[in-house]
Structure 1
Amino acid sequence: MSSPGHPNQFALLAQRRFAPFFWTQFLGAGNDNLFKFAFTVMVTYQLQVSWLPPAQAGLAIGALFILPFVLFSATSGQLADKLDKTLLMRWVKNLEIAIMALAGWGFMQAEVPVLLACVFLMGLHSTLFGPVKFAYLPQQLNERELTGGNGMVEMGTFVAILLGNVAGGLLIATPQVGASHVAMAALGVALLGRLTAQAIPLTPATDPGLQINWNPVSETWRNLKLAHEQLAVFRSLLGISWMWFFGAVFLANFPSFAKEVLHGNEQVASLLLVVFSIGIGVGSLLCEVLSKRHVEIGLVPLGAIGMSVFAIDLYVAAHALPPVTQQLGLAEFLAQHAHWRVLADLCLLALFAGLYSVPMYALIQLRAQPTHRARIIAANNILNALFMIASSVLAGALLGAGLSIPEIFLAVGLANAVVAAYIFLVVPEYLLRFIAFMLSRLVYRYRLRGDEHIPTSGPALLVCNHVSFIDAVLLMAASPRPIRFIMDHRIFATPVLGWLFRLAKCIPIAPQKDDPATYEAAFAQARAVLADGELLGIFPEGGITRDGSLQPFKGGVMKIVEGLPDVPVVPLALQNLWGSFFSRVERGEAMVKPFRRGLFSRVGLVAGAPLAAAEVSPERLRNEVSALLAS
């Protein structure tokens, strides 16, 4: 994996390992929507097809496009794991050219059955491309680039959807030559996508010996079972699918919301889509900035909170609109201040949806087994499709039961809060990382150095000085993976913090002379954590410093690594925490004087180069941490 440094995610567009791939997926998403929207407009406004009424055209086209995701995602995931991903992408783009050539003929001849078949085939094209797209990124980008890369792809996809819809609508509306213009544009975009795919670097297969199981039902079930072995991955699949359920309710109801609630024309409906797309794009790009170029799943609860808050406020804003007696054009709509609140709610709702989804995609890519990654992503695509279908059915049922569109938005916003709370309680890592994220951004100005030494895979023992009651939380904020900590059993009796550390599955330890059973159980659990390939954190001073100085390291670290000579030991140093609210001070206790040093005081964490377990001793580790404190 190449990992050249870059200042931000936009610099990836100058690198061959990302730029050709980005433009290939951008053009593919744009062409999907150019073709679908042009076809929808044609059968809605220009043709009279008795067996496809205009009111049903959009639903039929959407259903045909989604159907291949349900039927063929399991097979496409296997192909993406078995074959070189770049060669597979080029083959898929060849398929797109053939489909668009056939669709061009269908447009020019006004052959609706042919165009419906092309909708299904373009759904197949996207089904084949989806798993390889998301499995490609973790093979080409390192952990520090993965969030930014996913944010760029998410932003690019929604911008492409927006541009494709606008282009399709404008081209098909051109008098007399609209169909031919759509045919030429769709084929041209497909050819350009194939050209960019040619520049994507080869990406070797992760499981070339895989035997393809052509039964989509059994293969999908097997992939979901694989994902379920890693609970955080499986819950992320459900979380992403819920986001598509949530978003589909809004996207599907924009035309009716614009017409019936906002009393706007088609331009107003298009404006809602533009604002929503901008919000998703901005939120996706913000992920790298807020996560400090790590996979930061602490953003997911923040995104979920924002999604619910602004969905509920959208309902309130819709009920505060002034009465309107005529249909409003775009200028008239924007002239009323009450409508700006609606637009702000939509934009912020979409922005937080971007914050919610991008870290989940990155977590799946980072933690799924590389040999099964594409198949797990394929299973995710099936779940997404099923959740989107369910959202359409449920929204239709609620409308049929007499609910208004704003009331549906309110119901989805409230349901989102319930679903999010369930996910975060079942997988507390999300909640823990959210707390760590908020603490390291809102209470302190937290600076990380040397965090590339904290491994993104495999076992490691993290050894740190102990300054405050929230040292473990700050270490959580520095690692893209969960850390299990050994902690003094007495801290579990501390209100709030004790609950937090139990949620994090911290390992209680007591002095051997006081409780030999707890003492031995702690070391047994610690060695099991390392044997399972996880991260273990310890504070070898044995307690929080009372004078701010580094205390002698106890010998427990040697007992932990005994028999594990290959486990790396990473020295860490927390800087400038002494004297803060959560630390003790001379002649005083911790957490008794709020804002002792004010908000946003500077603190830091420095990670040193890993040491081999066979080379460490308490004295050497203390010297390493002491040197980091002085750096």
Structure 2
Amino acid sequence: MRGRHFAPFFWVQALGAFNDNVFKNVLLLLVTFVAVPRYGWNPGLVNNLAAGLFILPFLLFSAWGGVLADRLDKQRLIRNLKWLELVTMTAAGLAIWWQAYAVLLALLFMMGVQSALFGPVKYAILPQHLSRGSLVHANAWVELGTFLAILLGTLVAGPLAILAGGPWRGVIALVLVAIALAGLVISHAIPAAPPVAHGRIGWRPLKETVAVLRSAWQHQRLVPALLGISAFWFLGTCYLTQLPQWTRSVVGGGPGAVTLLLAAFAIGVGLGSLICARLSAGRLEIGLIPMGAAIIGLAGLDFAHHDALSAHPMALTELLAQPRLWWMLADLTLIGIGGGLYIIPLYTFIQLRSPEGQRARMIAANNVLNALFMVAAALFGILVLGILAAPLSLFFALLASLALMIALGAALARPRPLMRITIFVLVHIWYRLRLRGREHIPDEGPAVVVCNHVSFMDALILGGASPRPLRFLMDKPIYESPWLNWFFRMAGAIPVESERRDPGGMRRALEMVSEALANNEVVMIFPEGRLTPNGDVQQFRRGIELILARNPVPVVPAALSGLWGAWSSRRFGAPFTSMPRRFRARVSLTFAEPIQPQEASRANLEASVRALLAASTSAEQGGWGVTQPRE
């Protein structure tokens, strides 16, 4: 938030989202409470027309915006779009002053055009300015800023709309123009982001829409992420559209209660985004997607079960004294938290996996799909609540069931990431884990990680802490444990049988390791071959040299400290034969820079791990004031 490569962009997009929602909500309030009584307009028709005018540009111009973002300097494009926003808000201010409400509807369409063109560049610029490890945090802050801007814009719109009926209506114009002008000024601080693709830019919005959707479909690994994000906006649209009706019929409150419920949802999304950034720790955590969807579903089911708070309407002060209102707010906050956990990895996945020259086009395709799913959400509401006349509780229960189905599908499609993030969370609950040097594990390509072996928890800690999934070598008798074999198979463990028991066991294990490295995976081994009997690093065996002879890949040394003396170590006899002696023990895991295969002899690797362990122990004594127990 202090760096020039992110902070200006963050404030530009947050101010833009705030201005969008101030203008949109002021317009809806003016049309509903001023224009409809004055001109006799049909309120339902006008409100739906306004919603359609704002969504239509996303269908028409998102794809063209993706082409512009790929083929123009994104800094210059953002500045031009902020100029468009300033012109639109100036015209809106004049229309409000002259009370030209039909003109305001046309300007709402223009604001939708500006937002549709800004959408692709919003996420496409971040990978050009930030490192891979910063993208999750950046996306989390963008989502936090966006939803808080939406909330604040909704809150500010009410008082501003009241001013429209008197001589102070010029204040609305000043606010809209001032926010747009502030965004334009800040946009000049955004660093340059050169185009990543070349070609002629023509005026073919409809043709480009078809082209980007076809292109997105050809990138099959992106399709689930694109549909997953659109499913989030489907659920969000359904919730936000029906919350006013829920407030009236179930909560028994007025506009203040609606705002309170919206605030709980928006704050939840912001909290979920920050929790996602914390859990991800700079890496793409696909496992958070089913976890977030499950939270949405479970909290949604609980939200749907609430009965009416009162048989008659209550003031906001009366509602705040109702425990069940706070229960509803907690449910909505949890739904928002689940949404933050769910949506951030999906956006990050598209940013990282899209071809660089088509990244903005893929995001544009997603915006088109989002708009289609938002229209589908409106039709779904009409079908369930209008045609079928189902109660609101059933409507929200259906949404929760859909979220749970998404969670189940994502978990079954990619079980290992979910297992890894679950282990990561559990390990952090059980230990006070300090991590250093995770950036030394290559972002892409094959690698081998070697580490000292202190306890039976080592593999779980390494697997949870690694920025990439690890394939572990383990003793075949443990691998074939009837209670845990399913877990080891899901984790992708590689069983190794001793040559004494099975002469061909080592050869088969080496072949599986070679296959994993050929698939650009990371393989983790404990070269000592057994748990340490005294807390010190034991002599490395020849298995690592056999692996590197077949597959000369970089080797990342790692060192674990703080686990000697744990109930899963051998310090007090056989592991797991006594009760755990320490909860929240201080554990340190440190990775060193990769060693090239030609220098990675087992003697060099053993020396590297020993030095790393000594440095880690010294750092613990200085930073934590404790010593590493030794016999």
Q: TM-score category by the smaller chain? A: 0.7 to 0.9
Structure 2 residue 215 is the aligned partner of structure 1 residue 222:
yes
| 1:523 aligned partner | 510
Return the alpha-carbon distance in structure 1 between the equivalents of residues 476 and 76 of structure 2. 55
Identity of aligned residues (%): 41
Aligned partners of 1:580 and 1:597 also within 8 Å:
yes
Aligned partners of 1:224 and 1:376 also within 8 Å:
no
Q: 1:253 to 1:564 in 2, by over 3 A?
A: same
Match of 1:447 among 416, 420, 434: 434
For 1:596, give the aligned amino acid.
Answer: P
Return the alpha-carbon distance in structure 2 between the equivalents of residues 179 and 79 of structure 1. 37
Deviation at 1:505, TM superposition (A): 3.0
Q: TM-score, normalised by structure 2?
A: 0.88
Return the alpha-carbon distance in structure 2 between the equivalents of residues 50 and 582 of structure 1. 77
For residues 4-60 of structure 1, the C-alpha deviation after alignment (integer angstroms, 9 at most, x for no partner) is: xxxxxxxx2x22211111110011101111111111112211113889621243333
For 1:447, give the aligned amino acid.
Answer: R
Q: Bigger CA drift: 605-614 or 362-371?
A: 362-371
Match of 1:203 among 173, 177, 193: 193
| 1:83 aligned partner | 72
Q: Bigger CA drift: 134-143 or 299-308?
A: 299-308
Return the alpha-carbon distance in structure 2 between the equivalents of residues 488 and 61 of structure 1. 65
Spell out the pairing of 1:322-333 with structure 2 (5 A cutoff): 322-325=309-312, 327-333=313-319
For 1:243, give the aligned amino acid.
Answer: F
Match of 1:191 among 165, 181, 184: 181
| 2:373 aligned partner | 387
Q: 1:106 to 1:132 in 2, by over 3 A?
A: same
Return the alpha-carbon distance in structure 1 between the equivalents of residues 59 and 571 of structure 2. 61
| 2:297 aligned partner | 308
Return the alpha-carbon distance in structure 2 between the equivalents of residues 518 and 126 of structure 1. 60
Report the aligned-residue RMSD. Answer: 2.9
Structure 2 residue 548 is the aligned partner of structure 1 residue 603:
no
Return the alpha-carbon distance in structure 2 between the equivalents of residues 176 and 475 of structure 1. 65
Deviation at 1:528, TM superposition (A): 4.5
For 1:455, give the aligned amino acid.
Answer: P
Secondary structure at 1:571 match in 2: strand
Aligned partners of 2:212 and 2:364 also within 8 Å:
no
Match of 1:625 among 604, 609, 618: 609
Structure 2 residue 126 is the aligned partner of structure 1 residue 137:
yes
Aligned partners of 2:454 and 2:564 also within 8 Å:
yes
User: Structure 2, unaligned stretches of length 5 or more?
Assistant: 616-631
Return the alpha-carbon distance in structure 2 between the equivalents of residues 111 and 597 of structure 1. 74
Deviation at 1:157, TM superposition (A): 0.6
Secondary structure at 2:134 match in 1: helix
Return the alpha-carbon distance in structure 1 between the equivalents of residues 533 and 482 of structure 2. 21
Deviation at 1:560, TM superposition (A): 3.1
Secondary structure at 1:457 match in 2: coil
| 1:36 aligned partner | 24
Q: 1:509 to 1:154 in 2, by over 3 A?
A: same
Secondary structure at 1:573 match in 2: strand
| 1:342 aligned partner | 328
For residues 179-200 of structure 1, the C-alpha deviation after alignment (integer angstroms, 9 at most, x for no partner) is: 5443333233222211111111
For 1:215, give the aligned amino acid.
Answer: E
For 2:25, give the aligned amino acid.
Answer: F
Return the alpha-carbon distance in structure 2 between the equivalents of residues 194 and 137 of structure 1. 19
Q: 1:256 to 1:132 in 2, by over 3 A?
A: same
Structure 2 residue 260 is the aligned partner of structure 1 residue 276:
no
Secondary structure at 1:574 match in 2: strand
Aligned partners of 2:514 and 2:550 also within 8 Å:
no
Return the alpha-carbon distance in structure 1 between the equivalents of residues 532 and 45 of structure 2. 70
Deviation at 1:570, TM superposition (A): 0.7
Q: 1:31 to 1:142 in 2, by over 3 A?
A: same
Aligned partners of 2:55 and 2:112 also within 8 Å:
yes
Q: 1:559 to 1:211 in 2, by over 3 A?
A: farther
For 1:206, give the aligned amino acid.
Answer: V
Aligned partners of 1:172 and 1:181 also within 8 Å:
no
Q: Bigger CA drift: 530-539 or 245-254?
A: 530-539
| 1:5 aligned partner | none
User: Structure 1, unaligned stretches of length 5 or more?
Assistant: 1-11
For residues 385-407 of structure 1, the C-alpha deviation after alignment (integer angstroms, 9 at most, x for no partner) is: 23322222223322122322233
Structure 2 residue 388 is the aligned partner of structure 1 residue 399:
no
| 1:357 aligned partner | 343
Return the alpha-carbon distance in structure 1 between the equivalents of residues 510 and 40 of structure 2. 71
For residues 301-328 of structure 1, the C-alpha deviation after alignment (integer angstroms, 9 at most, x for no partner) is: 4433332232222223x22x54332x22
| 1:107 aligned partner | 96
Secondary structure at 2:240 match in 1: helix
For 1:171, give the aligned amino acid.
Answer: L
Deviation at 1:617, TM superposition (A): 0.3
| 1:4 aligned partner | none
Deviation at 1:620, TM superposition (A): 0.9
Spell out the pairing of 1:151-550 with structure 2 (5 A cutoff): 151-174=140-163, 175-177=165-167, 180-208=170-198, 214-226=207-219, 228-229=220-221, 234-316=223-305, 318-319=306-307, 321-325=308-312, 327-400=313-386, 401-495=388-482, 497-511=484-498, 519-545=506-532, 548-550=535-537
Aligned partners of 1:572 and 1:608 also within 8 Å:
yes
| 1:3 aligned partner | none
Secondary structure at 1:273 match in 2: helix
Aligned partners of 1:460 and 1:569 also within 8 Å:
yes
For residues 100-123 of structure 1, the C-alpha deviation after alignment (integer angstroms, 9 at most, x for no partner) is: 234334434444443333323322
Deviation at 1:618, TM superposition (A): 1.0
| 1:577 aligned partner | 563
Deviation at 1:419, TM superposition (A): 1.3
For residues 205-259 of structure 1, the C-alpha deviation after alignment (integer angstroms, 9 at most, x for no partner) is: 3334698895322321212332x23xxx543333332222222222111211111
For residues 64-101 of structure 1, the C-alpha deviation after alignment (integer angstroms, 9 at most, x for no partner) is: 32223233333322332332221221122122223323
Aligned partners of 2:65 and 2:120 also within 8 Å:
yes
Aligned partners of 2:438 and 2:467 also within 8 Å:
no
**How many residue pairs were aligned?**
609
Aligned partners of 1:301 and 1:434 also within 8 Å:
no
Q: 1:438 to 1:485 in 2, by over 3 A?
A: same
Aligned partners of 2:251 and 2:309 also within 8 Å:
no
Q: 1:398 to 1:454 in 2, by over 3 A?
A: same
| 2:627 aligned partner | none
For residues 455-497 of structure 1, the C-alpha deviation after alignment (integer angstroms, 9 at most, x for no partner) is: 2234322222334444333223222322333444444323454
Aligned partners of 1:300 and 1:430 also within 8 Å:
no
| 1:6 aligned partner | none
| 2:57 aligned partner | 68
